[in-house]
Structure 1
């Protein structure tokens, strides 16, 4: 009830989608950087610069790397992605950010809600905001007046302007409209129509294209080349900047939308509909344009086909938005019910994902292919299963949806429901003969998906239905490794009780012990060792568990592994050995511990050749000193930079260069080049 009251959007899909696109080494520049290392030791604010998909993918990697809750149950982590693809509601509004953060920070694995939040619900949960509060748009009015006052060149002009302030927001917008050049009014009117009814922000070049289509032609919609803007950015001069917001994607392109919801309210108000548009006609124009017969674009043009051609059909957008009258109108006019395109692939998948049951029924009656493939989730059944829409899942199954259809991010519907923790959908799919061990998708199988996401009840249900506990595949290789990496001890115990192979190989971390060590979960490392996990098992990204723990700075786990006879000089993995990994990341305490346990200070291997070169390149002077005290060979050759002096020089660490030269570091080929005098 409290979750529904908060109405917090789910941004995990964005994060999981982006995380699924990571490649080896993604964000290594960040995790290996001094700023990040400092932040981990002394938490404060850390600004990660970037934009667009680059930032989305980067942040997803950071979120998986920095999960404070895994280290301390009293801490929580929350994230939110503002998403321009969303229909200007769930993932675009600031209050949705606040709602999402409140819920994420309040949610606990025992499903108990913090008392302060419970008290708030008891006090306000059954109330609706006052109409007068919703109508109060004074802050927007003040902001617009300030913008107008900024244009004044003198105190006298300011006084005159203050004496003629509009009486309200509507009058303010009326003045702005009257100030638009009448020579351009026809174009401006079309732009405002499309912005008012768009279900997503538009690119500048997309908006510029709409005036090139004549919707009133006797022969049907036609492309008018003479109306094409030479520079799409001219759109910005046709409409007042007070009406529009522009988010630059690059120097020549950007996303454009109405600057405030009150602008849309004003444009759709009765006082303007006759002059600007009637809403039904405007939306008809909108869907008609996106459903234009692509033959009109075959007319001779020197440039590439417009982005309009890449848009999904109008039926798709109407289905996504849940506008049944428009869907009915389009189907009556023989819109292609199975047209492909858009984020969800087709109209049926879009309606299923958004839980528009009436539209799903309407599309199916009109012969929508219930098993059509495409889109982010592969098919409609997987989309509905992922989002927890049981009634849609039932409806699709009744209409002969293939319960084991493959495709999409999660591979199949059962894995999607298992990943999200919707037990009722998992049960429904199993009753309808979903293959419990079906392979495919990000997690490889349903059991691994549930194990990775911490859904113990679903893990139990899948095992009761004969899920193969040691099934291989997916990001983590097997369910035990997935649960171990994410710190779900209860699931690790359950899997071991069901005869999970503790030393099973596969996945990014090759085995469960390395996964738990990388994740920093000492309690799980202990549990795995008690169940005869091989402490020196080789393979995976880090080569072995000791290197994984050393990389992450988990001293307690390093000690535990060494106590259990981990080979301190074991070679392999990305960093070559544990000492080099700890030196690379600046974990002095672990470097000391490894040296005390007879780590070979001059062991060769990995990208930087040896520990001294790694520490020198990354600017860890204290570790360089420690290694030299422990008889590191100052002129040892190898690695990407040849030796420690060249590595320090490459990053401009003058203090380390001086220290190395004091210890007789030399470079026969470039002696003068490395002088610090």
Structure 2
């Protein structure tokens, strides 16, 4: 949406006038009117539609201590916002500048805003001198003094938060508190700083992590007055991986971890550890944080101290590294004897396959990872199925080349790779899997298929890739599967299930493909695979419906669908197949038959919003007083057009109802 620049400039002028008349920093100086006029002219009219520029200039003018200094500032206004910020950084007081930058880095990169108390402790942490340290005597007395370190770039606000320590006690009411927070003054401040060298991610990471390390050195000792502790652990966890390349950061991390009890500071990141499966929380944390240099040093220290294998009791370490995708950590672990299969389900290989981490998958396979899923069906994440489901075709190729069986690989839902690829409309993946034998039944598979068909009275095959692709509307995949119909055992039960999945929608191209294939099966002499009246009616196959009725098919035939009795007329009505409905009625279909859900054909037509079908049924004697109420459904779902059709055809339909 285009903004009216003239209107914005007018608003800026009004803002400048209001600020000059209300800001004590101007009113207390008794600024002469002619000077006020110059400020309004140059700032109010020079903002070029940028409110933030005008605000910054007024902030700067408010610091001027004489008319002359105001005039000099007005004669040297920055041309734009970037120039404004450049001057602010340049004009920072030298003794405060490094500290100001230190605070700004946290405001730019920390996920959570800093409280005023946290910001004070950032400034009281010294990394300019060695050794780095926190000096509590450098903590500011006055909150507003924070603004002196970053003038014009930050602001102090008040926000409310829920104090979870008191949630529900004693009156079951949530306790809300207020706290002061430090924020960047405007989003454009962050945009500008991110372009400056001092605030590039690598530089900022090293500076922030060093600040956190210096602050945390003795925080584990039970110091209560350390408000920055939680935020420091969060920032350290998030940015230590980037900063670890710096020698002093790596050594600082090791020094922190060597202190007994220091790892307890990071308890939030150790939530799945227990004493029985991880003997060293420090090693686990190092893997999860992605610190290969620190991990290598910890292993060397552990071996030198005679503690045995560095991975003894730390089987969860590989799982942690894989979950985060840290290939360098995984290499260190495998080189030190970690099992490539991890500690249980899901396996590292399955997780990496799901996440598309090709390098990690290859690394694990090179070290002998089992390509098949584990025995725990409830937790099973199969590598091949996971990769296929998420479209990672290179990983699928890699797994197959390394011996994965496409026929036996299944996830915890008993779905194979071909099924999930078909459901996701991944034509390339389906073609790849078919090319590697997917769908070819083993002896056990044939036996299972026979049992499946024998145990299902109506032969529904919702576990077939064809059903998955059809129900999701993936026409090209359906065609591809039908082209491999013999190998995939696509029989009438598969096609009927797929046709039923399409009832009520407009996927005519897929219906046509399925019906044509069904007709081909019949033409080829497969009498057992002739389409049922039910499936032909739902698919809108008029010729087949007429042929079956001529051969004596019952127009009141029904099928059991997910345990519910469904009549062919109602199903055709729901699908909106107008001609089929007329043919069935002409051949004696009961217009008022009630299915297992208490619904009639006219109700199904209303449900599918097929007005012409509803008119036909009402014209052939459909009684809306039988079964579920069509009028009630129309009112509830605000189907005014459908309601009008019913009222026109059944004048007494609105008895007891208010027709709007």
Q: What's the TM-score, normalizing by structure 2?
A: 0.52
Q: Equivalent residue for 1:535?
A: 531
| Equivalent pair of 2:492/2:531 in contact (CA under 8 Å) | no
- Residue 281 in structure 1 maps to residue 213 in structure 2: no
- Residue 167 in structure 1 maps to residue 79 in structure 2: yes
Q: Within 2, Cα distance between the matches of 1:175 and 1:312?
A: 29
| Equivalent pair of 1:648/1:654 in contact (CA under 8 Å) | yes
Distance of aligned partners of 1:594 and 1:659 in 2 relative to their CA distance in 1, 3 Å threshold: closer
Q: Equivalent residue for 1:440?
A: 411
Distance of aligned partners of 1:363 and 1:392 in 2 relative to their CA distance in 1, 3 Å threshold: same
What are the within-5 Å matches in structure 2 for residues 19-168 of structure 1?
151-152=15-16, 156=41, 158-161=44-47, 166-167=78-79
| Equivalent pair of 2:439/2:487 in contact (CA under 8 Å) | no
Match of 2:332 among 350, 355, 362: 362
- Residue 649 in structure 1 maps to residue 635 in structure 2: yes
What are the within-5 Å matches in structure 2 for residues 465-504 of structure 1?
477-482=463-468, 485=471, 486-487=474-475, 488-489=477-478, 491-493=480-482, 495-498=484-487, 500=489, 502=491
Q: Equivalent residue for 1:630?
A: 620
Q: Within 1, Cα distance between the matches of 2:583 and 2:118?
A: 71
Deviations 1:67-101 (A, max 9, x none): xxxxxxxxxxxxxxxxxxxxxxxxxxxxxxxxxxx
Q: Equivalent residue for 1:85?
A: none
The structural deviation recorded for 1:341 is 7.7
Q: Equivalent residue for 1:429?
A: 399
Match of 1:414 among 381, 384, 403: 384
The structural deviation recorded for 1:582 is 6.3
Distance of aligned partners of 1:665 and 1:611 in 2 relative to their CA distance in 1, 3 Å threshold: farther
Q: Within 1, Cα distance between the matches of 2:569 and 2:90?
A: 71
Match of 1:242 among 184, 187, 207: 187
Q: Within 2, Cα distance between the matches of 1:288 and 1:357?
A: 29
Q: Within 1, Cα distance between the matches of 2:514 and 2:243?
A: 46
| Equivalent pair of 1:546/1:568 in contact (CA under 8 Å) | no
Distance of aligned partners of 1:523 and 1:612 in 2 relative to their CA distance in 1, 3 Å threshold: closer
Higher relative contact order (CA 8 A, sep 6+): 1
Larger helix proportion of the pair: 2
Match of 1:231 among 135, 160, 170: 160
- Residue 397 in structure 1 maps to residue 365 in structure 2: yes
Deviations 1:229-255 (A, max 9, x none): 7625977773223348xxxxxxxxxxx
Distance of aligned partners of 1:352 and 1:624 in 2 relative to their CA distance in 1, 3 Å threshold: same
The structural deviation recorded for 1:337 is 4.3
DSSP-derived class of the 2:651 partner: coil
Distance of aligned partners of 1:621 and 1:430 in 2 relative to their CA distance in 1, 3 Å threshold: closer
What are the within-5 Å matches in structure 2 for residues 299-338 of structure 1?
314=237, 332=254, 336-338=282-284
The structural deviation recorded for 1:358 is 3.8
Q: Within 1, Cα distance between the matches of 2:208 and 2:243?
A: 17
Q: Within 2, Cα distance between the matches of 1:409 and 1:561?
A: 46
DSSP-derived class of the 2:436 partner: helix
| Equivalent pair of 2:605/2:613 in contact (CA under 8 Å) | yes
Distance of aligned partners of 1:145 and 1:298 in 2 relative to their CA distance in 1, 3 Å threshold: farther
DSSP-derived class of the 1:597 partner: helix
Distance of aligned partners of 1:212 and 1:647 in 2 relative to their CA distance in 1, 3 Å threshold: farther
The structural deviation recorded for 1:481 is 3.4
| Equivalent pair of 1:188/1:238 in contact (CA under 8 Å) | no
- Residue 449 in structure 1 maps to residue 420 in structure 2: yes
The structural deviation recorded for 1:280 is 0.9
Distance of aligned partners of 1:186 and 1:422 in 2 relative to their CA distance in 1, 3 Å threshold: closer
Distance of aligned partners of 1:496 and 1:404 in 2 relative to their CA distance in 1, 3 Å threshold: same
| Equivalent pair of 2:283/2:317 in contact (CA under 8 Å) | yes
Say how many residue pairs are matched. Answer: 469
Q: Within 1, Cα distance between the matches of 2:621 and 2:537?
A: 23
Q: Equivalent residue for 1:18?
A: none
Match of 1:266 among 171, 193, 196: 196
Q: Within 1, Cα distance between the matches of 2:348 and 2:622?
A: 61
Q: What's the TM-score, normalizing by structure 1?
A: 0.51
| Equivalent pair of 1:617/1:651 in contact (CA under 8 Å) | no
Q: Within 2, Cα distance between the matches of 1:384 and 1:161?
A: 53
Q: Within 2, Cα distance between the matches of 1:499 and 1:172?
A: 69
- Aligned CA RMSD, in angstroms, stands at 6.1
| Equivalent pair of 1:352/1:383 in contact (CA under 8 Å) | yes
| Equivalent pair of 1:403/1:434 in contact (CA under 8 Å) | yes
